[in-house]
Amino acid sequence: MKKSVKEKLSRVKMLIMDVDGVLTDGRIIMDDAGRETKNFDVRDGHGIKVVQRYGIKVVLLTGRRSEVVKRRARDLDIKQVYQKVFNKKEILAEILRKNKLQAAEVAFIGDDIIDIPVLRAVGFAAAVGDALDVVKKAVDYVTKHGGGRGAVREVCEMILQAQGKWPEIAVRYEFDDLG
């Protein structure tokens, strides 16, 4: 019997995500000196901080290398950052060994074809709303929001809701638990 999205999310102990197109809107801006900038959504960042507060480890796994990614990871206290990775599934195996986790305990958010092998290997797979169609077909859930526009926050909230943490968060931040 196929497990429901809620069941899969209830097992998550680690959230891994691609960067460009997931944590950002996919655009890379370079100035004349070759300095790179990226746009990050602060709500995605806050979602990451909240899941970390509830014991979920967060990992960045990206095909590009960027100082901007290192800086954003440092800002969000993300200790495990894998850059310039061409075989993400191979690195997933390393991450699982290092953290003593099973694939079923991992959620992954992706947007492009390089992410498909990992999306198929983890317990919960999500694609951002503006991911490629072929990627959307390989996942458990497609976010309502696009990459760099709240998709990560959406998945973070889903994890916390599935794990029964949402009512506590509602009290902490003084809002009605409408989720």
Domain CATH code at residue 77: 3.40.50.1000
Whether the per-residue pLDDT at 1 is higher than 80: the answer is no
Whether the per-residue pLDDT at 156 is higher than 80: the answer is yes
Domain presence at residue 152 = yes
Total structural domains within the chain: 1
CA-closest candidate to residue 131, choices 60, 25, 5: 25
Question: How confident is the prediction for the chain on average, in pLDDT?
Answer: 94
Structure tokens at 22: 């997931």
Whether the per-residue pLDDT at 179 is higher than 70: the answer is no
Question: Which pLDDT score, from 0 to 100, does residue 178 have?
Answer: 55
Query: What is the domain extent for residue 114?
Result: 5-172
Domain presence at residue 177 = no
Domain presence at residue 179 = no
Question: Which pLDDT score, from 0 to 100, does residue 2 have?
Answer: 64
Whether the per-residue pLDDT at 177 is higher than 80: the answer is no
pLDDT tens, 23-44? 999 998 999 998 889 999 999 9
